[in-house]
């Protein structure tokens, strides 16, 4: 009893029912056969139509174009359209497709072009292009769990936003209804997954052509061996949502580009998530930014490979994020970081290889580095830009880089490389030098070793209960104006051996002096500098407090702008040393304060005073002070005693000659000091007493005098 609407001559098509305007009620077509048309049933404007239990066949363009709201097609068949680029069924706002078969369309089977479309079951069979396509983010609803079957198409089964896929086929079993097409691949065009779980099946790849969002409460689950390929410039946004992509060693998950020459952006985690996303046994490649975790949305990357990223491989700024037992291989852009680690993140047993810029960049507090390898970085292997509080740090191997192995604040040095063998693990780079960038060391010992020189680019602080140590042959080079501060209980233990294995502290450039060693407060133990060479500095070793005890032994301190050595704490000693050449006439080469001593010290070439003594109980013995003030400046005394009460000051068995001022000059008018048994440059004694040597002031007991140069026990060259 069906009604047939057909062409007089099938070869000469008619246009079909064209419904438009705004009738008072819905038009109905039930048990109707409509065939040999150009447009099948075509409803637009406000002219709704209900097609029920009918058959539309042999249309040229559309079979059913339902552009009028509240139109529907149900329990019908749309069979065979002829023109590619047109859809067998087109669904606009508030329309319904229910229990209908679409077969043999030349182009897409069903096309969703509006909001609030209801899809209830049905079959889409043999489409020439996409089975079901919804290229925009419409609010499509699939009712009652009745999902369409899409099969035998010449292309992809679906091309839809992710929220429509979640309605069509959220689980692996549901996705079986989409199989059996020429390209068994799901195409995602964007959209937002909300409060749902969507699964990427192991044997049903995704092709992602538009950036999509996984929103709060939603989870994207990726099965082992699954594959997702992304178009150029596409993100997967984890917007407070979560991904669970857990592969297996023999079933790796793959996140890749559709075309490796046109990168996708990567996985972008932001917002806040109460749970950690996981990516395990996966390969992520050809991105701009790899895995990018920010906000409070952490991710754990495990046993995975991130390769061929342009800027970042793993940008882990979200606290709680981690990368472990993985590889980050090859980044392209210099000035960026293969791995960035923010507050409370973890880097564990991971290899970073071929970074164009930095290998690993620590950008927060409480970062844990638990072993790993950084190989072939274009810039620093490991870079810590600020004095962040360190978490647990275990040694890493840094090799093959084109620059320095690491740039660290001082607190990281004993963590990254606590032993000689650990520092050996930083060798094998183009510049085998550790760069130290300021910071504060507390409660630990940082040791500079001979095989790994230090380049110090910001002033470090050796603080409470900390020690800066250096083994024989170590070298520390300082940037312009950089100081080494030893304070609040910190100390130095710089222990060279012999002339060829001294500890050397110098300026990176002799034309740009560093600022020297500055000693404050009471150390946990006496600071010791043995067989050291300090040069090209504004100050050599300069005590700032009278409680910092220091012993300087067998040192060469040369080319100093102001003062080479200042001793303040009682019992501090400078011995067997040379202070050679200072530049500023208003500063003494050596300043020795209360109860300190100089023994077998040569001071030569001071621009001003050689040794200044501003306090009591200072002794100089077997020393040599010569060439102060270039030998011509009358105020450039060899030893200048500037206190009004120099009780206990002694200068004995010294060589005092060739100074511009007096060999010894005592400003006190009431206390005479002991200046006996010295060589004044002449066997006849000091000039001021009719001898031929350096002068001597009043209130100096200088007799007897030496008749020749005193042999100093030892001074280094």
**Domain for residue 251, yes or no?**
no
**Beta partners for 268?**
237, 292
Q: What is the DSSP string of 480-519?
A: TT-EEEE-TT-EEEEE-BTTTB-EEEEESBTTB-B-EEEE
Backbone angles phi, psi at 665, to 5 degrees: -130, 120
Q: Tell me what pLDDT residue 499 has.
A: 74
CA atoms within 13 A on the CB side of 211: 14
For residue 89, CA distances in Å to 46, 69, 95, 102, 111 come to 18, 15, 11, 8, 6
Q: What is the DSSP string of 362-391?
A: E-SSSEEEEEEEEES-SS-SEE--S-PPEE
Contact 702, 689 (CB under 8 A): yes
Helix (H) / strand (E) containing 358: strand 358-362
CA-CA distance, 392 to 415, in Å (whole number)? 8
For residue 33, CA distances in Å to 63, 76, 91, 111, 141 come to 12, 10, 20, 22, 28
Backbone angles phi, psi at 207, to 5 degrees: -120, 115
**Domain for residue 519, yes or no?**
no
Tokens of 578: 């040379």
Backbone angles phi, psi at 410, to 5 degrees: -60, -30
CATH code for position 119: 2.160.20.10
**Domain for residue 352, yes or no?**
no
Q: Tell me what pLDDT residue 501 has.
A: 93
CA-CA distance, 39 to 582, in Å (whole number)? 99
Contact 503, 480 (CB under 8 A): no
Contact 431, 406 (CB under 8 A): no
**Domain for residue 589, yes or no?**
yes
Q: Tell me what pLDDT residue 139 has.
A: 76
Contact 277, 255 (CB under 8 A): no
**Domain for residue 174, yes or no?**
yes
Backbone angles phi, psi at 100, to 5 degrees: -110, 145
| Token pair 């963590």 in the structure block, residue | 415
**Domain for residue 550, yes or no?**
no
Instruction: For residue 655, give its domain range.
Output: 562-717
Q: Tell me what pLDDT residue 196 has.
A: 86
* 171, 189, 207 - which closes a domain: 189
Q: Tell me what pLDDT residue 500 has.
A: 82
Count how many residues are written for the chain: 717
Residue ranges of the chain with pLDDT lower than 70? Answer: 143-144
Helix (H) / strand (E) containing 575: strand 573-582
Q: Establish whether the linkage from the previous residue to 704 is cis, with ω within 30° of 0.
A: yes
- The candidate with the shortest Cα–Cα distance to 137, out of 188, 97, 211, 190, is 190
Any idea what the Cα angle at residue 383 is, between residues 381 and 389, rounded to 5°? Answer: 140
Q: Tell me what pLDDT residue 195 has.
A: 84
DSSP 259: B
Q: Tell me what pLDDT residue 144 has.
A: 65
For residue 522, CA distances in Å to 338, 460, 479, 487 come to 43, 18, 27, 7
Contact 78, 88 (CB under 8 A): yes
Give the torsion sign (CA, 693, 694, 696, 702): negative
Predicted TM-score of the model (pTM): 0.91
Q: How many structural domains compose the chain?
A: 2
For residue 162, CA distances in Å to 123, 136, 187, 199, 627 come to 21, 11, 9, 11, 85
* 124, 158, 189 - which closes a domain: 189
* 189, 213, 237 - which closes a domain: 189
**Domain for residue 293, yes or no?**
no
CA-CA distance, 270 to 247, in Å (whole number)? 23
Tokens of 217: 């409460």
**Domain for residue 41, yes or no?**
yes
């Amino acid at each position: 009893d069906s009604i047939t609407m057909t062409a007089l001559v099938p070869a000469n098509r008619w246009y079909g029912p064209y419904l438009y305007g705004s009738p008072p009620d819905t038009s109905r077509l039930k048990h109707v056969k409509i065939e040999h048309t150009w447009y099948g049933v075509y409803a637009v404007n406000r002219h709704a139509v209900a097609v029920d239990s009918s058959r539309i066949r042999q249309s040229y363009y559309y079979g059913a174009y339902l552009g009028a709201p509240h139109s529907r097609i149900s329990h019908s068949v749309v069979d065979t359209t002829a023109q590619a680029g047109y859809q067998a069924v087109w669904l606009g706002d508030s329309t319904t497709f229910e229990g209908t078969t679409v077969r043999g369309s030349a182009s897409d089977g069903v096309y969703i072009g509006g909001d609030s479309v209801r899809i209830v079951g049905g079959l889409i069979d043999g489409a020439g292009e996409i089975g079901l396509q919804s290229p925009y983010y419409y609010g499509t609803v699939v009712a009652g769990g009745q999902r369409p079957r899409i099969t035998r198409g010449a292309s992809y089964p679906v091309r839809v936003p992710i929220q429509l896929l979640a309605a069509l086929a959220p689980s692996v079993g549901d996705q079986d209804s989409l199989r059996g097409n020429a390209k068994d691949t799901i195409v995602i065009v964007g959209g937002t997954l909300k409060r749902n779980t969507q699964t990427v099946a192991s044997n049903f790849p995704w092709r992602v052509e538009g950036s999509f969002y996984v929103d709060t409460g939603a989870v994207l689950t990726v099965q082992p061996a699954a594959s997702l390929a992304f178009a150029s410039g596409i993100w997967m946004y984890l917007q407070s949502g979560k991904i669970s992509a857990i592969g297996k060693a023999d079933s790796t998950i793959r996140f890749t580009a559709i075309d490796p020459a046109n990168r996708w952006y990567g996985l972008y985690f932001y917002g806040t998530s109460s749970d950690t996303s996981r990516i395990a046994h996966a390969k992520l490649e050809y991105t701009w930014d790899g895995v990018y975790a920010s906000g409070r949305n952490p991710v754990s990357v495990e046993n995975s490979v991130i390769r061929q990223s342009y800027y970042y491989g793993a940008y882990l700024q979200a606290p709680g994020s981690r990368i472990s037992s993985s590889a980050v291989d090859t980044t392209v852009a210099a000035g960026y970081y293969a791995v960035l680690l923010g507050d409370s993140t973890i880097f564990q047993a991971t290899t970073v290889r071929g970074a164009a810029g930095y290998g690993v960049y620590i950008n927060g507090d409480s970062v844990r580095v638990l072993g790993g390898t950084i190989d072939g970085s274009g810039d620093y292997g490991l870079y810590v830009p600020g004095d962040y509080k360190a978490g647990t740090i275990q040694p890493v191997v840094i090799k093959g880089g084109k620059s320095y192995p690491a740039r660290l604040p001082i607190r990281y040095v004993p963590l990254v490389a606590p032993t000689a063998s650990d520092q050996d693990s930083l060798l094998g780079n183009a510049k085998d030098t550790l760069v130290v960038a300021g910071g504060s060391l507390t409660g630990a010992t940082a040791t500079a070793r001979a095989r790994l020189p230090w380049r110090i680019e910001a002033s470090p602080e050796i603080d409470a209960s900390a020690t800066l140590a250096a083994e024989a042959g170590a070298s520390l080079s300082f940037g312009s104006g950089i100081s080494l501060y030893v304070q609040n209980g910190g100390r130095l233990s710089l222990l060279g051996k012999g002339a060829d294995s001294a500890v050397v502290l110098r300026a990176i450039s002799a034309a740009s002096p560093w600022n020297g060693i500055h000693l404050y407060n009471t150390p946990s133990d006496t600071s010791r500098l043995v067989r050291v060479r300090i040069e090209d500095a504004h100050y050599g070793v300069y005590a700032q407090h009278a409680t910092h005890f220091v012993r300087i032994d067998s040192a060469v301190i040369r080319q100093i702008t102001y003062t080479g050595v200042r001793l303040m704490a009682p019992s501090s000693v400078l011995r067997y040393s040379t202070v050679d050449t200072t530049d500023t006439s208003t500063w003494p080469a050596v300043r020795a304060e209360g109860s300190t001593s100089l023994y077998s010290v040569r001071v030569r070439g001071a621009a001003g005073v050689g040794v200044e003594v501003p306090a009591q109980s200072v002794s100089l013995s077997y020393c040599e002070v010569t060439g102060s003030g270039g030998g011509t400046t009358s105020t450039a005394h060899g030893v200048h005693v500037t206190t009004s009460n120099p009780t206990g000051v002694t200068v004995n068995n010294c060589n005092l000659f060739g100074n511009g001022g007096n060999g010894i000059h005592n400003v006190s008018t009431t206390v005479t000091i002991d200046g006996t048994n010295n060589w004044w440059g002449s066997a006849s004694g000091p000039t001021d007493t009719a001898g031929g040597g350096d002068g001597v002031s009043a209130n100096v007991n200088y007799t007897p005098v030496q008749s020749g140069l005193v042999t100093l026990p030892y001074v280094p060259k």
